[in-house]
Amino acid sequence: MLIIPAIDIKDGKCVRLRQGRADEVSVYGDDPVATAQYWEQEGASYLHVVDLDGAFQGRPVHAELIGKIIKAVKIPVEAGGG
Q: Collect contacts of 17-24 with beta carbons under 8 A, ≥24 apart.
A: 17/52, 22/52, 22/56
Average pLDDT value for residue range 47-57: 96
Share of the chain above pLDDT 90, in %: 89
Average pLDDT value for residue range 40-69: 97
What pLDDT is attached to residue 82?
Answer: 75
Mean pLDDT over the full length of the chain: 95
How far does Cα 57 stand from its chain's mean position? Answer: 16
Model confidence at 20, in pLDDT bands (50, 70, 90)?
Answer: confident
